[in-house]
A and B are shown apart, each in its own frame.
Chain A
Amino acid sequence: MFKTRIIKALLAALWFMVLTFPIVGIQVNTTARNINWRWDRIASMGIGIFVLALLWNWCFERKALGLPIIKKLPDSFHYSFNELQNRPLFKKGLPIAILAAMLLMPLVSSIYQTNIMISAMVYVILALGLNIIVGLAGQLVLGYAAFYAVGAYTYGLLYHYFGLTFWACLPLGGLAAVIAGFLLGLPVLGLRGDYLAIVTLGFGEIVRLLLLSQGDITGGPRGISNIPRPSFFGMKMTLDQVTNYTYYLVLAGVLITILVISRLKNSRIGLALQALREDEIACEAMGINTTRIKLTAFMLCSCWAGFAGVIFAAKTTYLNPASFTFMDSAMILSMVVLGGMGSISGVVLAAMLLILAPEYLRAFSEYRMLLFGAVMVLMMIFRPQGIIAGAHRDYHISENIREKASPEDEEGNADSAERASA
């Protein structure tokens, strides 16, 4: 056992050393026309991989045995944490405390920090919107940024050519994205399988390329500038004021989104979407028109991207196609996956982390994508349910229905006469 582990790790180390030898081990000095052989680097590479491989195998073995990777916290701690979670003070108190902090934040922070927070919240809205189709319905969408772009450019172009305001464009941006979602979803959502992923991936690229190539309309790579920030009954505001105003607007947007998604999740439609995610064939056999429900979810999710796009345009006052690349789609998707499919608090947390961490950990920014990929892979393997797994709702069963059951619980067969569903 021990021996095979060592051999496996050694093989991995050797393989990596050979594989990375040309990149890591050879340095060509073009001026002196000679080659530096950097054996030390190769050696440290080997040692590093050896240790990592040992650790990796160990983790997998633990996982296969169903053991936790990190030693479980003592039971008493666990117990008290569960207790704490169920305390009304904690359940109600924590969201209120977070909300209060969010409300106070722009008053104490600089414009720069407020702006970062606004971007993070725009991403929260986007991620929660994508959560409808990916997290709840289990349908992969790879080009979400395209719908975001549709919303943003709706505002940009309508302002540029017709002078329409933010408030007029907010619903129009949503509408435009919904129409795009409908046209795209209609042909593919009737099919079983990941066609939606492929089609949206293509759509994402098409939209970006169109924005780039139709320069005389969209401004091409230069984009559209001087888009007005949101207005408040035509009041003149200083930059400081308008930033704070935008902040509160976006915060309200986040709260509305959370309300909408949580209500949707617990509704008849939401249950059907979750059923679809769990098992498409069984879902159909339950009399659910899967095509229709997928289309509904997809349109709602594009609508949210449209709203977020308009807000984004108003926030940055400047649009160009570089903001809507595949990287952005992938980023939003990973927020949903990391946060926990269908879990609202998880997705909010993941979106905040993914946007704020690079801002405040500049030192890591070079390795950002690398870290990001590693975290995704590790999460998929060791915690597929995401940071915070989706919570189950407590259902309230009417007293009269519930009571009838109690006398015969032990016997089993609660007798047929008392069937509620006749």
Chain B
Amino acid sequence: MNPVLEVKKLSRYFGGLKAVSEVDLSIAPNEIVALIGPNGAGKTTFFNCITGIYEPSEGEVLLHANGTTTSLNGKKPHAITALGLARTFQNIRLFQEMTVLENVMVGFHCRTSAGIMGALLHTPAALREEQETIDQAYGLLRSVNLHNSYAAKARNLPYGAQRRLEIARALATSPAVLLLDEPAAGMNPFETRELETLVQRIREAHKLCVLLIEHDMNIVMSMSDRIYVMEYGSCIAEGTPMEIRHNPKVIKAYLGEESHA
């Protein structure tokens, strides 16, 4: 099957540091792919390059969605999101002072169109669109089980709930590919298990593919279809969870890290 997202020989340098070097990656429709690697391996930098926050130093990122192929190189983050790539952040970046519902409503921005005039004159079209946005946002909140706190301020949510809110907000942009940066970080085992089913449900319901960075090996092994392993900026292995588990390079990279820790 044709991939949805295709990354070719992507590199990103910071001065002399090769944070990401020549990484190839592709995701097929409906796939859950994990990106793992020790701290500082360059995983987040890789995300930032795909989503336009950093410009890649070399390489190409292609998105095949809605029947067209678009190169994401040199595009601004908002344009990339509009094309169908949504993400969450490792260090939660919610709109803290806004309510939970409003956070998700912001995600609908690029899929709605009411302008200044519509807002000031309260045109029927603008009001209808707003009510639709509110209802859809509430629906998304229910799918991550946050609908009961829809009127709370985002910053008053517990940590795990904030992570789920970030996912709901990303879903509001109707992505073709969802990028999750350590969604289970800071969650307790119960929440982590819930997250696993949540991600799987999202994939089915929204017909999207997921690329996730995660340190928790249990969920990585049990939920992903394929795994990429990064170390010092390069991709050192790629394969099914089974293959990765027995890959000597990966074992070495991880054991090496553990003995340092």
Contacts and interface: CB of A to CB of B under 8 A. Distances in A.
Interface in A229-276: 260, 263-264, 266-272, 274-275
A274 B119 contact: no
A282 B95 contact: yes
Contacts of A107: none
A285 B87 contact: yes
A45 to B, nearest CB: 41
A414 B145 contact: yes
Given A263-B119, A286-B169, A287-B78, A281 B93 contact: yes
A129 B79 CA distance: 30
B46 interface: no
Interface string B183-208: 00000000000100110010011100
Contacts of A404: 142
B138 interface: yes
A300 B82 CA distance: 25
B151 A269 contact: no
A284 B80 CA distance: 10
A269 B119 contact: yes
Given A268-B133, A281-B93, A288 B78 contact: yes
Contacts of A416: 143, 201, 204-205
A392 B94 CA distance: 17
B119 A282 contact: no
A379 to B, nearest CB: 17
Nearest to A282: B93
B150 A421 contact: no
Interface string A384-403: 00000000101111100110
**Most chain A CB inside 10 Å of its own CB: which residue of B119, B126, B201:** B119
B115 interface: yes
Interface band, chain B: 35 or more
A260 B101 CA distance: 23
A279 interface: yes
Interface string B124-144: 001001110111101110110
B110 interface: yes
B97 to A, nearest CB: 6
A19 interface: no
A287 B109 contact: yes
Given A286-B81, A398-B131, A414-B147, A270 B119 contact: yes
B98 interface: yes
Nearest to A272: B109
Contact of B110 (A288, A395, A401): A288
A285 B77 contact: yes
Contact of A420 (B94, B112, B136): B136
Contacts of A264: 116, 119-120
Contact of A392 (B115, B131, B134, B151): B151
A409 B141 CA distance: 12
B77 to A, nearest CB: 4
A413 B77 contact: no
A283 interface: yes
A401 B135 contact: yes
A286 B110 contact: yes
B42 to A, nearest CB: 19
B110 A287 contact: yes
Given A268-B133, A275-B95, A419-B205, A263 B122 contact: yes
Contacts of A409: 148
A272 B110 CA distance: 10
A183 interface: no
A262 to B, nearest CB: 10
B145 A413 contact: yes
10 contacts: A271-B102, A278-B97, A282-B93, A284-B81, A285-B81, A287-B111, A395-B101, A396-B131, A414-B143, A419-B143
Interface of A: 260, 263-264, 266-272, 274-275, 278-279, 281-290, 296, 300, 392, 394-398, 401-402, 404-405, 409, 412-414, 416, 418-422
Interface of B: 51, 53, 76-79, 81-82, 86-87, 89, 93-99, 101-102, 105-107, 109-112, 114-116, 118-120, 122, 126, 129-131, 133-136, 138-140, 142-143, 145, 147-148, 150-151, 153, 169, 171-173, 194, 197-198, 201, 204-206
